Structure 1
Amino acid sequence: MNYNFSNDTGEEKNKKKIQKEFDNKPTPAFIGASWVALVAGMLAFCVGLSNAAMLLNEKGYYLTILLFGLFSAVSVQKNVRDRLEGTEVTDMYYGISWFAALASITLLVIGLWNADLNLSEKGFYGMSFTLSLFAAIAVQKNTRDKKFIESTEEV
């Protein structure tokens, strides 16, 4: 028999378990580096688009894919994290988030494959897109970790 004499509710136990995983809060340097990477990736992508010799509708396509990719990557990160923390996430939303993230990457690859651009330009867009997605995930993770740690310190 296992007797539990603590006054902790299930939610408090879960919070303590999660807190152990986040004892190392993100440093200001990592938070700053994540934001710099996000801004640099997005800015490089957008400056590349503004200087590109392509039609306005093509530029709009690539900009929309960037925004779609950023949103879907953050959504996937949030869903994965919610599930790890025991927060209920429907399978439908979880699947849609993954589908959207993969769709944005696929649409970028198809667009660049068929674009009349130099190989170096295609690589530039691919790398700035990848940097932006990675940085968006890191910024969201840092923001969530920081908020979680602040909320547990208040208790």
Structure 2
Amino acid sequence: MNTLTAQRPTGAFVGASWAALFVGAVTYVTGLWNAQMALNEKGYYFTVLAFGLFAAVSLQKTVRDRLEAIPVTGIYYGLCWVALGLALLLLTVGLWNATLTGSEKGYYAMAFLLALFGAVAVQKNIRDIALFERLNPASSEADA
């Protein structure tokens, strides 16, 4: 028996989640913009960020779907894990072989991880708010 309960995330957590996503992504992209590397390298790192963000959100959605008894095929669930692992591996290999200083490598790694965390938290908040509003329609109307 699967009973759904919902709590609305606090405004502070919602704000912190969006801030983590934007600070991580903007910091990462700003670093790429100002980097002294070839355009194809910048494209590689930007693509890894976009791929990682998509993979993290997709994985969070499939995990949440399974928790809410929404059908998710095993192959898609597995592909989400593989995609997130590949994004992390591609960033790791790229930074390991890059001719950047250690502090620059750490900068990109931390901005990347912050953006991934933010994307997962934002997706979680969106789902929590939607579930809360679906289960508590009177509360949603009072907020409007």
TM superposition score normalised by structure 1: 0.86
Partner of 1:18: 4
- In 2, the alpha carbon distance for the partners of 1:133 and 1:99 equals 15
Q: Is 1:38 the equivalent of 2:21?
A: yes
- In 2, the alpha carbon distance for the partners of 1:80 and 1:151 equals 20
Partner SS state of residue 8, structure 2: coil
Partner of 1:137: 120
Task: Tell me how far 1:154 sits from its aligned partner.
Answer: 2.3
**Greater RCO (Cα-Cα under 8 Å, separation 6 or more):** 2
5+ residue gaps, structure 1, are 1-12
- The alignment covers a number of residue pairs equal to 138
2:37 to 54, 57, 78: 54
Partner of 2:87: 104
- In 2, the alpha carbon distance for the partners of 1:80 and 1:38 equals 20
- In 1, the alpha carbon distance for the partners of 2:119 and 2:19 equals 10
Partner of 2:104: 121
Letter in 2 for 1:60: G
Partner of 1:69: 52
- In 1, the alpha carbon distance for the partners of 2:104 and 2:38 equals 15
The structure 1 segments of at least 4 consecutive aligned residues displaced by more than 3 Å after TM superposition are none
Partner of 1:5: none
- In 2, the alpha carbon distance for the partners of 1:18 and 1:57 equals 47
- In 1, the alpha carbon distance for the partners of 2:74 and 2:122 equals 25
Partner SS state of residue 18, structure 1: coil
RMSD of aligned residue pairs (Cα, Å): 1.1
Larger radius of gyration: 1
TM superposition score normalised by structure 2: 0.93
Letter in 2 for 1:119: G
Q: Deviations over 1:31-64 (max 9, x none)?
A: 0110011000000000000010000000000000
- In 2, the alpha carbon distance for the partners of 1:28 and 1:84 equals 24
Counting aligned pairs with the same residue, the percent is 54
